[in-house]
Amino acid sequence: MQRIYLSPPHMSGLEQTFVQEAFDTNWIAPFGPHVDAFESEFAAQVGAAHACAISSATAGLHLSLILTGVERGDEVVVSDLTFAASVNPILYQGARPVFVDSEPGTWNMDPQLLAELLEQRARVGKLPKAVIVVHLYGQSADLDPILAACDRYGIPLIEDAAEALGATYKGHTPGVLGRMGVYSFNGNKIITTSGGGMLVSADAQLIAHARKLATQARDPAPHYQHSEVGYNYRLSNVLAAIGRGQIRVLEERVATRRHHFETYHRALHALPGVDFMPEAAFGRSSRWLTVVTFDPKESGVDRELVRLALEAKNIESRPVWKPMHLQPVFATCECAGGSVGEHLFEHGLCLPSGSNMTQQDLHRVVDTIRTVFKQSGHGRVADEHCVDALVKISDPVTVD
Ligand SMILES: *Cc1c(COP(=O)(O)O)cnc(C)c1O
């Protein structure tokens, strides 16, 4: 049985034309016309004023922290439930992360907890230098109250939108509403350049400075002259060519992933103890990954039982991110709240969601999960719903 991956790359065919062009013109360089074109096409797609193509979202977050003046000993507030790459750049700067738990309705940063934390810090006269909000699994955080809390104290908001390209928040793409936003084109994201990222901002000077820092911080001089520390963080012209092919099919990719979500939902939602990541009323989730929670108290089926059953059928799935406050590397860091993220980590599982999955692939995942429920002593319940769902899964699904 062929392996079903969580979220593999999905090329459109257009990429090769652009890559061929890079070869034909010998622009096998870290700069070149595809980089400029990709930046402006990407900026137009997300509604950003300015964009700088970079080697990864991690690099983009690092640049964002440098550009907001984060230094040794500073505090930076960041979402607790996320991938370590949201946090590591804080450590690169010698600063200290302070984590904020999720809210149940979006699974993203709880705006109330953030507001309380900033209020407390203001009282003791020690405000954080920046806030990094993460938009998880294709869904935006509730940005308005988060921005309001930051604005009250003049703290810049950096958006980690690595997982949120294609999502909306009140008609905007998450990533463009903060001081700076970062996207990822890693191999498992909704579009990919194999590796890469984009840094966006409404501030032209910030992006110009980012571009300079990302290319070894050369001063404008004919010789090599440097008056600040630079980095090698730019995206190459060849990878930008792949990105140009990918950005053109973003909307199709979102539609397909939302379709997969609907298919999973219809086939599995009636199983006891099964719940899906909610979609907040303020916008559209790209459903980058379909995420399900399993409550063993209701069914006897826990997340690990399902994950191992899928693995036995050569199907990749992943537990929800392990909260940062539980990570050994960040064990001494402060965290506001924490129980929401802990609960999601314990019960949540990301299902294969690639836009190139076939209907048969979806069936294989669904059947495997149903079998777990049948064998767990809830067979009767599962069977009833399974028959129901089997009819439904082959129906055409419409998604807005
Ligand atoms: C993937 C990811 C990153 C890192 O992206 P890279 O481009 O691989 O550096 C950062 N934050 C989140 C939330 C991610 O999912």
Query: Would you kindly state where each structural domain of the chain is located, as residue ranges?
Result: 14-247, 250-394
Locate the DSSP E strands across 228-364: 274-276, 290-294, 318-319, 334-336, 348-351
What's the burial of 228, exposed, middle or buried (CB within 10 Å: 0-12/13-18/19+)? exposed
Q: Report the percent of the chain where pLDDT is more than 70.
A: 94
Q: What is the pLDDT of residue 168?
A: 98
pTM of the model: 0.95
Q: Which tens digits make up the pLDDT trace of 76-87?
A: 999 999 999 999
250-394 — its CATH code? 3.90.1150.10
Whether residue 57 has its Cβ less than 6 Å from ligand 1:
yes
What would the mean pLDDT of 361-376 be, rounded to a whole number? 95
Residue 383 — pLDDT band, cuts 50, 70, 90? low
Q: Assess whether pLDDT exceeds 70 at residue 382.
A: no
Domains 14-247 and 250-394 fall in the same CATH topology: no
Q: How confident is the model at residue 400 (pLDDT cuts 50, 70, 90)?
A: very low
AA identity, residue 179: R
Q: 102 CA distance to ligand 1 centroid (A)? A: 18
Ligand 1 near 237 CB (within 6 A):
no
| Phi and psi at residue 265, to the nearest 5° | -60, -45
How would residue 387 be classed by pLDDT, with cut points 50, 70 and 90? very low
The pLDDT of 138-160, averaged and rounded, is: 98
* Local confidence band at 29 (pLDDT 50, 70, 90 cut-offs): confident
Dihedral, CA atoms, 136, 64, 31, 166, nearest 10 degrees? 20
Q: Is the CB of 197 under 6 A from ligand 1?
A: yes
- The pLDDT score that the predictor gives to residue 377 is 73
Does the structure show a pLDDT above 70 at 342? yes
Residue bearing the CA closest to ligand 1, atom 14:
162
Largest CA-CA distance found in the chain, in angstroms, rounded = 77
The 10s digit of each residue's pLDDT in 215-261 is 999 999 999 999 999 999 999 999 999 999 999 999 999 999 999 99
Cβ(134) – ligand 1 distance below 6 Å: yes
Task: State how far the Cα of 155 lies from the Cα of 149, in Å rounded to an integer.
Answer: 9
Give the model's pLDDT for residue 30: 79
Give pLDDT tens digits for 308-337. Answer: 999 999 999 999 999 999 999 999 999 999
The predicted-structure confidence for 262-282, as pLDDT tens digits, reads as follows 999 999 999 999 999 999 999
Per-residue pLDDT at 392 exceeds 80: no
* Dist CA 67 CA 128 (whole Å): 15
Q: Is 324 in the pocket of ligand 1 (CB under 6 A)?
A: no
Q: Is the CB of 160 under 6 A from ligand 1?
A: yes
By the 8 A CB rule, do 80 and 102 touch?
yes
| Residue 375 per-residue DSSP state | I
To test the ligand 1 pocket, which listed residue (78, 182, 186, 199) has its Cβ within 8 A of the most ligand atoms?
186
Residue 197 pLDDT > 50, yes or no?
yes
Best mutation site among 86, 108, 289 for ligand 1 pocket (most ligand atoms within 8 Å of CB)? 86
Q: How far is the C-alpha of 39 from the C-alpha of 239, rounded, in Å? A: 12
303-312 vs 359-373: helix crossing angle, rounded to 10: 130
CATH of 14-247, one of 3.40.50.1000, 3.40.190.10, 3.40.640.10, 3.30.450.20: 3.40.640.10
Within 8 A by CB and 6+ apart from 169, the residues are 140, 141, 143, 177, 282, 283
Is any atom of ligand 1 closer than 6 Å to the C-beta of 290? no
pLDDT tier at 378, thresholds 50, 70, 90: low
